[in-house]
Amino acid sequence: MIQIFTVKKRFDSQKPISSTEKLGLRWCRQSYPLYTWAELSIQGKYPNPVEYSLYISNNNNEFDKKDDPSYKAFHRTIGSPELVVVGKTSSENKLTGVAIISFQFNEQEDYFSISIAKGIDPALILCLAGIVDETIEKSMRTECYVHV
């Protein structure tokens, strides 16, 4: 389980669960409170089928039902670097497409592109993209190391 924090409250009554100083983040002169934003669960290992489930904090350190994530992401096909993200708002009952994240790996450079639906928090999708990128990279390094 990977936790994602924010320095902004998501709700007026939300209390911080940590601070930048407590986590050893000393990139600024003062310490900032950290609030729970989301948790990411990863089932599977790339390049095999992987399902990413993102649970949004609904108050303090509580998350949506563990069997009903706010967002899910999956690779279009086994080993595909393209990730489809589906999600729902609090007023919706079914998951619909919210973003496509495409990772490009080649000998000259690595990069990614993101398409995000209107009304979706781009910062959250960027966090997801960064975590997935690191997860894919770690899986590929491990796979290469095993075959060397």
Residue 136 has what pLDDT? 83
This prediction has a pTM of 0.82
SS3 labels along the chain: CEEEEECCCCCCCCCCCEECCCCCCCCCCCCCEEEEEEEEEEEECCCCCEEEEEEEEEECCEECCCCCCCEEEEECCCCCCEEEEEECCCCCCCCEEEEEEEEEECCCCEEEEEEECCCCCHHHHHHHHHHHHHHHHHHHHHHHHHHC
Residue 129 has what pLDDT? 92
Residue 103 has what pLDDT? 84
In whole angstroms, what separates CA 73 from the centre of its chain? 9
Phi, psi of 86 (to 5 degrees): -120, 150
- Distance separating alpha carbons of residues 116 and 10, to the nearest angstrom: 21
Residue 73 has what pLDDT? 95
Cα three-residue angle 21-27-29, rounded to 5 degrees:
75
Residue 54 has what pLDDT? 92
Residue 28 has what pLDDT? 77
pLDDT in tens, the chain (148 residues): 899 999 998 888 889 999 999 988 877 788 999 999 999 999 998 888 899 999 988 776 777 666 688 899 999 888 888 899 999 766 677 888 999 999 877 777 777 899 999 889 999 999 999 999 888 888 877 766 655 5
Residue 148 has what pLDDT? 53
Q: How many CB atoms lie within 10 A of CB 28?
A: 9
Residue 62 has what pLDDT? 77
